Structure 1
Amino acid sequence: MIKIQSITKSFHDRMILNDVSGTFEKGKPNLIIGASGTGKSVLLKCIVGLSKPDFGQVFYDGRDFYEGDRDLKIEIRREMGMLFQGGALFDSKTVEQNVMFPLDVLTKMSSEEKLDRVNFCLKRVGLENVNRKMPSEISGGMKKRVGIARAIVNNPNYLFCDEPNSGLDPQTSVLIDDLIQDISEEFDITTIVVTHDMNSVMGIGERIMFIFKGQKLWEGTKDNITHSNVKELDDFVFSNKVMSGLRGK
Structure 2
Amino acid sequence: MIEVHNVHKSFGDSPILRGITCTFETGKCNLVLGGSGTGKSVLLKCIVGLLKPDIGSITFDGTIFTNNKIEIRQEIRKQIGMLFQASALFDSMNVFENVEFPLRMLTPDMSKEERRDRVEFCLKRVGLENAGPKMPSELSGGMKKRVGIARAIAPNCTYLFCDEPNSGLDPLTSIKIDELIYEITHEYGITTVIITHDMNSVVEIGDHIVFLHKGLKLWDGTKDEILNAQVPELKDFIFSSSLVRAAKKVEQEGGTIETNVGEPIQGE
Residues 106-121 of structure 1 aligned to structure 2 (within 5 Å): 106-107=106-107, 108-121=109-122
Q: Which residue in 1 is equivalent to 2:133?
A: 132
Q: Which residue in 1 is equivalent to 2:168?
A: 167
Query: What letter is aligned with 2:174?
Result: S
Q: What is the rounded CA distance, in whole Å, between the counterparts of 2:192 and 2:45 in structure 1?
A: 14
Query: What letter is aligned with 1:198?
Result: M
Does the residue aligned with 2:203 lie in a helix, a strand or coil?
Answer: helix
TM-aligned CA deviation for residue 67 of structure 1 = 3.0
Does the residue aligned with 1:165 lie in a helix, a strand or coil?
Answer: coil
Give the TM-score of the pair, scaled to structure 2: 0.90
Q: What is the rounded CA distance, in whole Å, between the counterparts of 2:37 and 2:243 in structure 1?
A: 20
Query: What letter is aligned with 2:126?
Result: V
Q: Which residue in 1 is equivalent to 2:256?
A: none
Q: Cα 1:59–1:139, aligned 2, differ >3 Å: closer, same or farther?
A: same
Residues 34-113 of structure 1 aligned to structure 2 (within 5 Å): 34-107=34-107, 108-113=109-114
Q: What is the rounded CA distance, in whole Å, between the counterparts of 1:231 and 1:66 in structure 2?
A: 33
Q: What is the rounded CA distance, in whole Å, between the counterparts of 1:242 and 1:198 in structure 2?
A: 10
TM-aligned CA deviation for residue 10 of structure 1 = 0.5
Greater relative contact order (Cα < 8 A, sep 6+): 1
Q: Which residue in 2 is equivalent to 1:193?
A: 194
Does the residue aligned with 1:224 lie in a helix, a strand or coil?
Answer: helix
Q: What is the rounded CA distance, in whole Å, between the counterparts of 2:190 and 2:18 in structure 1?
A: 27
Query: What letter is aligned with 2:21?
Result: S
Between the aligned residues of both structures, percent identity stands at: 59
Q: What is the rounded CA distance, in whole Å, between the counterparts of 1:33 and 1:45 in structure 2?
A: 15
Query: What letter is aligned with 1:29?
Result: C
TM-aligned CA deviation for residue 238 of structure 1 = 0.6
Residues 2 and 23, structure 1, Cα contact 8 Å, conserved in 2: yes
| Larger Rg over CA atoms | 2
Q: Which runs of 4+ in 1 moved over 6 A?
A: 244-249
Query: What letter is aligned with 1:138?
Result: L
How many residues are matched?
249
TM-aligned CA deviation for residue 241 of structure 1 = 5.7
- What's the Cα RMSD here? 1.5
